[in-house]
Structure 1
Amino acid sequence: MCAAALLVGVTAAPAQADPSPDAGAGSGLRGVGWAVKETGTTSRFRGLAAVSRTAAWLAGSGGTILRTGDGGRTWRDVSPPGAVAEKLELRDIEAFDARRAVALSIGEGEASRILRTEDGGASWTETFRNPDPRAFYDCLTFFDTRHGLAVSDPVDGKFRLLSTDDGGRSWRVLPNAGMPDALAGEAGFAASGQCLVASGPRDVRLATGGGAVARVLHSADRGLTWRATDSTVPAGDPARGVFALAFRDRTTGLALGGDYRADQASPNAAARSADSGREWTRAATPPPAYRSGAAWYPYGRSTALAVGPTGTDVTTDAGRTWRAFDGGSFDTVDCAADGGCWAAGEKGRAARLELLRPWGR
């Protein structure tokens, strides 16, 4: 049985001791936990693309990109030389397979760039460099292998969108006539590559924070027109808002976030929607602290994971309640179609969800 499949059948039995010191703590997931994979680097990985149980990409600080094809036993350093030389902050990576991927670096002006590889990272092509010093790109997402978007914090009072229809080989700025006005102080968070997420061939959502309220914007036409909805996640401060979105399909979604400052509490920082994001409902039992990443488990229609610097939480009722699963620090999480779930974060941490100890032992 695939280890991640055990998430679907969470029991109330105590967790057994695991080889990994922070796996399964208090989760009730008997022997299922994050198996930390040695990456050989101290980069902080906020960009993650899970291709399968065996293949994944990581993107992080110092221009670092790693790729594994053997379940994390070994990692190949495929960092773009120019990104390393300039110490770019790579905060998002989207992979079509084990050879093709698109990565985003963040920052004001020319620090925001998009890079693409077609040969497993042996070579990279810069396909976009931001010419506008007012723009700051946070996240990117793809609807399929051709169509994708990248989002910048507001420019001239509205969020700015880039669009590609050739798999990231070229990009153009979309008109902003269909984008609602941004709130004062509103922006996106480049914390996990999940502030902009596509679901299906045309639907995409954008998460915000920093303004008076944390909003979720929805487009059903690949970014041409948008509808904004207030979430229930607390905002009202530049450090608070929705940091991650995860949609299981066109209608069912999760919003996670809080206050990223370690000395600040993050109450009620999880919400769910069952109507394409038109309304958001607070989780009855939210995670206990700020969470920056979220992912649905593909074989469990009500099962999802949320990660942050203080641990991982799991829901098995579509976001109504969450409970602690692991105490290790992660910034982002992603699950592949075959059920392979990966997480990544600070100090080179990367992990795969595994059955670390057989049942009954």
Structure 2
Amino acid sequence: MSTPSRGSLLVLCAVATVGRAQPPAPRVTELPSAASALLQAVHAVNAQVVWASGHKGTVVRSRDGGRSWERLETPAGDSLEFRDIHAVHADTAWILSAGSGPKSRIYRTTNGGATWRLQFLNADTAAFYDCFSFGSSTTGVAYGDASPQRTNILRTEDAGRTWKLLAPTAVPAPLPGEGAFAASGLCVVHGDANTVYIATGSPGARIFRSRDGGRRWTTENTPFARGISAGLSGLSFADAQRGIAVAGDMSRLRTDSAQSVVGITTDSGRTWS
């Protein structure tokens, strides 16, 4: 599901501890990124290795904690929008391009971006893949907007060499027009190696949850903002139980006054505060 976008920057958020008696204080630093196009996804492998991706075929990487960045050559020139990225170290990473039909693709590099191997090419012209997540270096899950009468969830067990579309009986039945916002790469996240969450945008702002590495799924309704262009836009889980979610109306980013846009859960998404 495409979203409005403007501007491009990278932000490093570090935690500085000021004495033992005080809570950690966040520190935010803007960084030059070597990118001229909009960046939409970032993945920090550790404190030093960070990958980011975005429009016009952009992928950048830092190996010194964001102090310097290098622009990496990617497949298909500048024709793809890489809305999500996942890396396991400085050499191995996956990128997901979002778009209708064959514009939705997954590539993998094992040599720091020198070459990329195409691992998935969407053949369903009605499908639009939004984001993915890996629970290990071999197992991963990708989610796409519903095509007519089916929820599209891909799964791999071989580091992406093959991606299998789950059967309709293994996934939730979709709401009409249901999909996710391909905005930050956070519509699919892992709580641990086996617990996976999917955040849907419009129309229902639902959570999909799997406890077996993405093989089977259940759903939870949420109290977040929802509508034609509103819903959940990102998740993050510290473990299988504790997570945070954000939501909003993507058509009114500067004027949205909805209150139900940030929440936390301690019970795997069953209830939210």
TM, length-normalised to structure 1: 0.68
Matches within 5 A, 1:1-361: 3-6=14-17, 29=25, 32-80=26-74, 82-85=75-78, 87-211=79-203, 213-237=204-228, 239-260=229-250, 261=252, 262-281=254-273
Structure 1 residue 205 displacement after superposition = 0.7
Aligned to 1:321: none
Structure 1 residue 244 displacement after superposition = 0.5
Q: Which has the higher contact order (CA 8 A, sep 6+)?
A: 1
Contact 2:34 2:60 in 1 (8 A): no
Contact 1:64 1:83 in 2 (8 A): no
Q: 1:94 & 1:168 partners in 2: Cα distance?
A: 12
Aligned to 2:4: none
Q: 1:119 & 1:91 partners in 2: Cα distance?
A: 21
Q: 1:198 & 1:168 partners in 2: Cα distance?
A: 16
In the alignment of these two chains, the number of paired residues is 259
Identity of aligned residues (%): 36
Q: 1:222 & 1:10 partners in 2: Cα distance?
A: 40
RMSD: 2.2
Aligned CA distance change for structure 1 residues 179 and 11 (closer, same or farther; 3 Å): same
Which digits, 9 at most, give the CA deviation of each residue in 1:60-90, with x for residues without a partner? Answer: 100010111112222111131x3324x2010
SS state of the match for residue 17, structure 2? helix
Letter in 2 for 1:178: A
Letter in 2 for 1:181: A
Which digits, 9 at most, give the CA deviation of each residue in 1:127-152, with x for residues without a partner? Answer: 11101101100000001000001111
Q: 1:58 & 1:218 partners in 2: Cα distance?
A: 26
Aligned CA distance change for structure 1 residues 252 and 84 (closer, same or farther; 3 Å): same
TM, length-normalised to structure 2: 0.88
SS state of the match for residue 83, structure 1? coil
Structure 1: runs of 5 or more not aligned: 13-27, 282-361
Letter in 1 for 2:124: D
Structure 1 residue 269 displacement after superposition = 0.4
SS state of the match for residue 76, structure 2? helix
Deviates more, 1:57-66 or 1:198-207: 198-207
From the CA coordinates, give the structure whose radius of gyration is larger: 1
Q: 2:58 & 2:66 partners in 1: Cα distance?
A: 16
